Chain A
Amino acid sequence: MATEKITMPQLGESVTEGTISTWLVKVGDHVNKYDPLAEVMTDKVNAEVPSSFTGTIKEIVTAEGETVAVGELICYIETEAGGTVEASAAKGEEKKETVTAQNETTDQSMKNRYSPAVFKLAQENNINLNQVNGTGRGGRITRKDIEKIISTGQTPTLSESATPAITVEKESSNNTPGPSTPQPTSQVGDIEIPVTGVRKIIAQNMVRSKTEIPHAWMMVEVDVTNLVNYRNKIKNDFKQNEGYNLTYFSFFVKAVAQALKKFPQLNSTWAGDKIIQRKDINLSIAVAKDQELFVPVIKNADEKSIKGIAREINDLAQKARNNKLTTNDMQGGTFTVNNTGSFGSVQSMGVINHPQAAILQIESIVKKPVIIDNMFAARDMVNLCLSLDHRILDGLICGQFLAYVKETLETMNENTVQVY
């Protein structure tokens, strides 16, 4: 059994309402589809309302003489088919509501998009927008959110001591509370920042890497004076010809790829009862973006020229910034090179990109006094820091690997390097 609605039909151009002059049926009557139900009078025509269903008249809603708008309910008919129309409509609504509720809680993509009104109000009232929770779509802070803060006087103001709540510091995973540690609670004035999807995945990966892999660490210092001179000499022409920068990082990636070809032990994975040595040399590079960290992959880096690598780094970084990275861009990495020098770091202990065997941090190139032939010289020096999975690798092999990378870089100059 199903209850269907009969509504006032549109009985002509510009007719918007009708008056029921006579009901031709009464409650309990059986009607066939197209049987007349009632006579209706409009200011243009008199007409009969036909039934749209076969069934029994259940309830007459509009009395004789009453005027109702087109589309309004006039009576209910009970039909044989199952499921009421209204009920299903109601269910649809419920579903929609829960979906929007979920969206609100997870999506924070609009959190840092500020409208002119929000900017102006925040500035005038000295409100730190980083500490405001938005109620708009994607976590956007709305003008109303700010107005509410102003009117209630609970102003999270800009203070010098306020540190960015999220940093790209990888070691933070150490502090991730285990199941036994009690959940920290926030005090009055603290700001709670919901953990978004990407941040959650970063956290999981870091914890996994640090708890599963026994990290060991070593560092070499490399003299890249010749490389610096060479690169400075050609970088402007390169930029002009190719349209993107010839970064130092491209040279380092190239050197690492070559070294991995010679020391495939570092290009491997711990697989419980065996070690899998990878044939392809696919280098993951870490790209930081706002509060997220991506590791897209340069595939078969050993087969590419320095120009090809520079181009790919440029493309991947662009994609990361524009949220265009695909799963394919992020898959298949066998070893990670991390450009920590770009933040000015001179020494760092990277967390291995699970399940790879090692990660190499390329630090800042710094001018330093160095003794050559018992004389001081001003040289461009760079630290390379390697974190290694001690299950797979030992100091000896890694030392050899680093020495090889060091030698490759130190001999890179005008005569030995082919950019193209």
Chain B
Amino acid sequence: MPVMSYIQAVTSALREEMQRDEKVFVLGEDVGRKGGVFKATEGLYNEFGEYRVLDTPLAESAIAGVGIGAAMYGMRPVAEMQFADFIMPAVNQIISEAARIRYRSNNDWDCPIVIRAPYGGGVHGALYHSQSVEAIFANQPGLKIVMPSTPYDVKGLLKAAIRDNDPVLFFEHKRAYRLLKGEVPEEDYVLPIGKADVKREGSDITVITYGLCVHFALQAAEKLAEEGIDAHILDLRTIYPLDKEAIIEAAKKTGKVLLVTEDNKEGSIIGEVAAIIAENCLFDLDAPVQRLAGPDVPSMPYAPTMEKFFMMNPDKIEKAMRELAEF
């Protein structure tokens, strides 16, 4: 199996889906000739031409709007927001149109669009290139939000998102693009949207997280294994709607649960995970459910020391895991 980086897995999923289905097309800022600012669409313009890889104006509302219209007419658009931070002008299109249309039209219409966006910090991106925006969309029935943590999951889930008949927000951690590498099968495969995945079996504590934090948690778990602390790690993969069954099972497994996100703590998706555990697992809990998250500060600062304070990292997770294990 070839080893791919996280971003190569994105490109490969896009290429294979465009080859498989000619209704699939890509649109976004600089996705064509330049191949995207992160090079996620590199080579697609040459392979599929300007009618299937569209360079758009700097207008996110239009990117989403055009994509939604095309999707409702039977196309399979994959729209790219250059940074998740810039999705805000498109929120009305995504929530009020894409998420609602199937319900509003009583199943007459659907909207199979994928909106990809790089999120997250730790790359000196400062306020407008570091945000985690998933919580804004995570209470909008009709939407699905996928946030993969490994190259293997990226390929399988992006393909599934493109083939899904409803709108999917696909958030990719920009620091993971070149940081994470892993084996990715060359052949076609899809992974189920809405299913969490156990990334590490363990019996002492349960860590539930998603995205880049899964990688950090795994690193922390390896260190703690040397101290005899055995961590169970659940990767949510789809953060909306949540895989309740998997969350309950993972929480019950050890009774000590740490929830991790890079997002601001209050109102983040892990609060919902905590609520699911509280509703279902009282008599299996051996410790208060812990949340480890970014501070409730408007955005990630530029100054390296401040960025480090805000950004999640393996050390912070390791500390929280050890404390929970010792409880």
B is bound to A: yes
Known: A14-B38, A137-B327, A140-B327. A115 touches B286 (CB 8 A): yes
Contacts A17-B179, A116-B284 aside, 13 further interface pairs with beta carbons under 8 A come to A10-B124, A13-B123, A14-B123, A15-B178, A16-B175, A16-B179, A17-B178, A115-B287, A116-B285, A117-B255, A117-B284, A143-B254, A143-B284
Check A120–B255 contact: CB distance below 8 A: no
A168 CA to B123 CA, complexed, in Å: 62
Check B38–A142 contact: CB distance below 8 A: no
B203 to nearest A CB, angstroms?
Answer: 8
Known: A14-B38, A120-B283, A137-B327. A143 touches B255 (CB 8 A): yes
- Verify if A118 is at the interface (C-beta below 8 Å from B): yes
What residues of chain A lie closer than 8 Å to B287, measured between beta carbons?
115
- Verify if B326 is at the interface (C-beta below 8 Å from A): yes
Can you offer 22 A-B residue contacts whose CB atoms are under 8 A? A10-B124, A13-B125, A14-B38, A14-B123, A14-B177, A16-B175, A17-B178, A115-B255, A115-B285, A115-B287, A117-B284, A118-B286, A136-B326, A136-B327, A140-B327, A142-B286, A142-B327, A143-B254, A143-B256, A143-B284, A143-B286, A144-B203
CB proximity to B under 8 Å, residues A1-30 = 10, 13-17
What residues of chain B lie closer than 8 Å to A14, measured between beta carbons?
38, 123, 174-175, 177-178
A69 CA to B178 CA, complexed, in Å: 10
Top 8 A-B residue pairs of the complex, sorted by shortest distance between their CB atoms: A143-B286, A16-B179, A117-B286, A115-B286, A117-B255, A14-B123, A120-B283, A143-B255
A138 to nearest B CB, angstroms?
Answer: 9
- Verify if A43 is at the interface (C-beta below 8 Å from B): yes
Give the dominant DSSP class at B's interface.
loop
What residues of chain B lie closer than 8 Å to A118, measured between beta carbons?
286
CB proximity to B under 8 Å, residues A305-325 = none
What residues of chain A lie closer than 8 Å to B286, measured between beta carbons?
115-118, 142-144
What 1/0 mask marks residues of chain B from 270 to 294 whose CB sits below 8 Å from any chain A CB? Answer: 0000000000001111110000000
A118 CA to B284 CA, complexed, in Å: 8
CB proximity to A under 8 Å, residues B166-204 = 174-175, 177-179, 203-204
What 1/0 mask marks residues of chain A from 50 to 82 whose CB sits below 8 Å from any chain B CB? Answer: 000000000000000000010000000000000
B136 to nearest A CB, angstroms?
Answer: 23
8 Å CB contact of A13 from B124, B282, B283: B124
Q: B282's closest neighbor in chain A, by CB?
A: A116
What residues of chain B lie closer than 8 Å to A17, measured between beta carbons?
178-179
Check A117–B326 contact: CB distance below 8 A: no
What 1/0 mask marks residues of chain A from 119 to 147 whose CB sits below 8 Å from any chain B CB? Answer: 11000000000000000110010111000
Q: B181's closest neighbor in chain A, by CB?
A: A17
Check A116–B283 contact: CB distance below 8 A: yes
Q: B118's closest neighbor in chain A, by CB?
A: A14
A142 CA to B282 CA, complexed, in Å: 15
What residues of chain B lie closer than 8 Å to A136, measured between beta carbons?
326-327
Known: A115-B255, A116-B285, A118-B286. A16 touches B326 (CB 8 A): no
A154 CA to B124 CA, complexed, in Å: 56
8 Å CB contact of B204 from A117, A120, A144: A144
A319 CA to B255 CA, complexed, in Å: 33
What residues of chain A lie closer than 8 Å to B255, measured between beta carbons?
115, 117, 143
What residues of chain B lie closer than 8 Å to A15, measured between beta carbons?
178
What residues of chain A lie closer than 8 Å to B175, measured between beta carbons?
14, 16
Known: A116-B284, A120-B283. A16 touches B327 (CB 8 A): no
B253 to nearest A CB, angstroms?
Answer: 11
A43 CA to B255 CA, complexed, in Å: 44
A121 to nearest B CB, angstroms?
Answer: 9
B155 to nearest A CB, angstroms?
Answer: 20
Known: A13-B125, A14-B38, A143-B255. A117 touches B285 (CB 8 A): yes
What residues of chain A lie closer than 8 Å to B125, measured between beta carbons?
13
What 1/0 mask marks residues of chain B from 103 to 128 whose CB sits below 8 Å from any chain A CB? Answer: 00000000000000000000111000
A136 CA to B287 CA, complexed, in Å: 10
A238 CA to B82 CA, complexed, in Å: 72
What residues of chain B lie closer than 8 Å to A119, measured between beta carbons?
283
What residues of chain B lie closer than 8 Å to A140, measured between beta carbons?
327
What residues of chain A lie closer than 8 Å to B204, measured between beta carbons?
144
CB proximity to A under 8 Å, residues B286-327 = 286-287, 326-327
Q: A119's closest neighbor in chain B, by CB?
A: B283
8 Å CB contact of A137 from B178, B254, B283, B326: B326
CB proximity to A under 8 Å, residues B205-222 = none
CB proximity to A under 8 Å, residues B113-162 = 123-125
What residues of chain A lie closer than 8 Å to B177, measured between beta carbons?
14
A14, A16, A117: most-surrounded residue (chain B CB, <10 A): A14
B325 to nearest A CB, angstroms?
Answer: 9
What residues of chain A lie closer than 8 Å to B124, measured between beta carbons?
10, 13
A44 to nearest B CB, angstroms?
Answer: 9
What 1/0 mask marks residues of chain B from 235 to 266 whose CB sits below 8 Å from any chain A CB? Answer: 00000000000000000001110000000000
B274 to nearest A CB, angstroms?
Answer: 15
Q: B129's closest neighbor in chain A, by CB?
A: A13
What 1/0 mask marks residues of chain B from 31 to 73 whose CB sits below 8 Å from any chain A CB? Answer: 0000000100000000000000000000000000000000000
A69, A115, A137: most-surrounded residue (chain B CB, <10 A): A115
Q: A110's closest neighbor in chain B, by CB?
A: B327
A13 CA to B302 CA, complexed, in Å: 12
A116 to nearest B CB, angstroms?
Answer: 5
Q: A97's closest neighbor in chain B, by CB?
A: B227
A110 to nearest B CB, angstroms?
Answer: 9
Q: B322's closest neighbor in chain A, by CB?
A: A100
A140 CA to B326 CA, complexed, in Å: 10
B142 to nearest A CB, angstroms?
Answer: 32
A14 CA to B174 CA, complexed, in Å: 7
A411 to nearest B CB, angstroms?
Answer: 57
A282 to nearest B CB, angstroms?
Answer: 41
Q: A120's closest neighbor in chain B, by CB?
A: B283
A135 to nearest B CB, angstroms?
Answer: 9
What residues of chain B lie closer than 8 Å to A120, measured between beta carbons?
283-284
What residues of chain A lie closer than 8 Å to B284, measured between beta carbons?
116-117, 120, 143
What residues of chain B lie closer than 8 Å to A13, measured between beta carbons?
123-125
What residues of chain A lie closer than 8 Å to B179, measured between beta carbons?
16-17, 69
A61 CA to B179 CA, complexed, in Å: 21
A131 to nearest B CB, angstroms?
Answer: 19
What residues of chain A lie closer than 8 Å to B38, measured between beta carbons?
14
A142 CA to B38 CA, complexed, in Å: 47
A48 to nearest B CB, angstroms?
Answer: 20
A144 CA to B254 CA, complexed, in Å: 8
A348 CA to B326 CA, complexed, in Å: 44
